[in-house]
């Protein structure tokens, strides 16, 4: 039996919602699991890209039992009291790696959902989220990768995930800016302080609350207020060349709701109102990174509302 799962990229944090907010985006990885027929056994993992065949970052992905897709599959099998059979795993990796776009969450989710299908769907949505989070370590990317759309989520001490999905306004669009260098989550987290100032914590609490209200009311002015942060971006911005300049230049333009670091970076997300001109924004962004000496791919991108699907 063979199962293929298509999983979207995700952007996490979105300003104030550190390790909590996440949105699914329309870039996709595909994970295929195929049970090897007896007497074949063991593990075969193939990694390739459907969009960029010369992506050297794919060469860094392990093709043995340390691969995170296999780890996720093994955890799902263990959940139902089984060990994985001989497997062939194909990873079509179209989501850029180490860019802050949820590439690891995507393949983890793909592996778990494919394994669940092979086993006859013994795990429900809550179990799938919990298992995926055990591999990933935080649910902000995992949750939208499974559910699609905008989500906020929390990993609880018992391993469960508390989460909610809220409709994202159709008039609020995204531009993603992807620099040509990588930034690992480990390095990006290493610059964060162990303790935060009370004033900064209150700053983010207020804006997180306003963020949710802005979504419910589709209030652009309130969202402009909400899309700010003092817990992570102020520290990570020195690792993301051009971010401060882009934010300063764009946030004062009409119909721009905000400019944020996507996840751990270095990708940058711009949220804008539909009646704005993409080419005008792209021109501004291109100028920022040209001045900063960094090559950046700038893309208009849609929200994915479906999440992971078996195809």
- Mean pLDDT lowest for which of 53-67, 86-100, 208-222? 53-67
Helix 125-136 and helix 103-118: axis angle, to 10°?
140
Query: In this predicted model, what pLDDT tens digit does every residue of 249-280 receive, in sequence order?
Result: 998 888 899 999 999 999 999 999 987 788 88
Domain with CATH 3.30.230.10 in the chain: 2-166
Helices (H) and strands (E) in the chain, counts: 10, 11
Q: Residue 177: which pLDDT band, with cuts at 50, 70 and 90?
A: very high
Q: 172-301, which class in CATH?
A: alpha beta
pLDDT at 56: 67
Identify the helix (H) or strand (E) that includes residue 268.
Answer: strand 268-273
Query: In this predicted model, what pLDDT tens digit does every residue of 101-139 receive, in sequence order?
Result: 999 999 999 999 999 999 999 999 999 999 999 999 999
Mean pLDDT of 97-102: 94
Beta carbons of 7 and 94 less than 8 angstroms apart = no
The pTM for the full model equals 0.93
Beta carbons of 89 and 35 less than 8 angstroms apart = no
Beta carbons of 146 and 307 less than 8 angstroms apart = yes
Domain 2-166 has CATH 3.30.230.10: yes
pLDDT at 37: 80
- Mean pLDDT lowest for which of 46-50, 113-117, 282-286, 299-303? 46-50
Q: Which are the contacts of 299, defined by CB distance < 8 A and separation ≥ 6? A: 175, 176, 177, 178
Domain with CATH 3.30.70.890 in the chain: 172-301
């Amino acid at each position: 039996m063979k199962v293929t799962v298509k999983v979207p990229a995700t952007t996490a944090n979105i300003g104030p919602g550190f390790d909590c907010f996440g949105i699914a985006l329309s870039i996709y990885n595909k994970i295929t699991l195929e049970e090897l027929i007896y007497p074949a056994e063991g593990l075969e993992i193939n990694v390739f890209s459907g969009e960029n065949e010369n992506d050297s970052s794919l060469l860094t992905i392990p093709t043995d039992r340390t691969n995170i897709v296999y780890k996720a599959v093994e955890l799902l099998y263990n959940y139902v009291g089984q060990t994985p059979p001989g497997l062939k795993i194909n990873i079509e990796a179209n989501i850029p790696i180490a860019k802050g776009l949820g590439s690891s969450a995507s393949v983890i989710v793909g592996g778990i959902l494919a394994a669940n299908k092979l086993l006859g769907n013994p795990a429900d949505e809550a179990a799938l989220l919990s298992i995926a989070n055990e591999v990933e370590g935080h649910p902000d990317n995992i949750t939208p990768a499974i559910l699609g759309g905008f989500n906020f989520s929390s990993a609880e001490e018992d391993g469960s995930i508390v989460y909610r999905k809220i409709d994202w306004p159709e008039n609020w669009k995204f531009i993603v800016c992807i620099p040509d260098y990588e930034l690992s989550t480990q390095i990006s987290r290493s610059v964060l302080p162990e303790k935060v100032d009370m004033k900064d914590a209150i700053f983010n609490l207020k804006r997180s609350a306003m963020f949710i209200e802005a979504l419910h009311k589709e209030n652009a002015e309130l969202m402009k207020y909400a899309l700010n942060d003092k817990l992570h971006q102020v520290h990570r911005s020195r690792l993301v060349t051009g971010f401060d300049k882009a934010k300063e230049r764009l946030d004062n333009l009409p119909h721009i709701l905000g400019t944020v670091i996507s996840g751990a970076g270095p990708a940058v997300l711009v949220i804008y109102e539909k009646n704005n001109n993409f080419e005008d924004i792209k021109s501004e962004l291109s100028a920022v990174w040209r001045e900063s000496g960094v090559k950046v791919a700038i893309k208009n991108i849609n929200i994915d509302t479906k999440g992971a699907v078996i195809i």
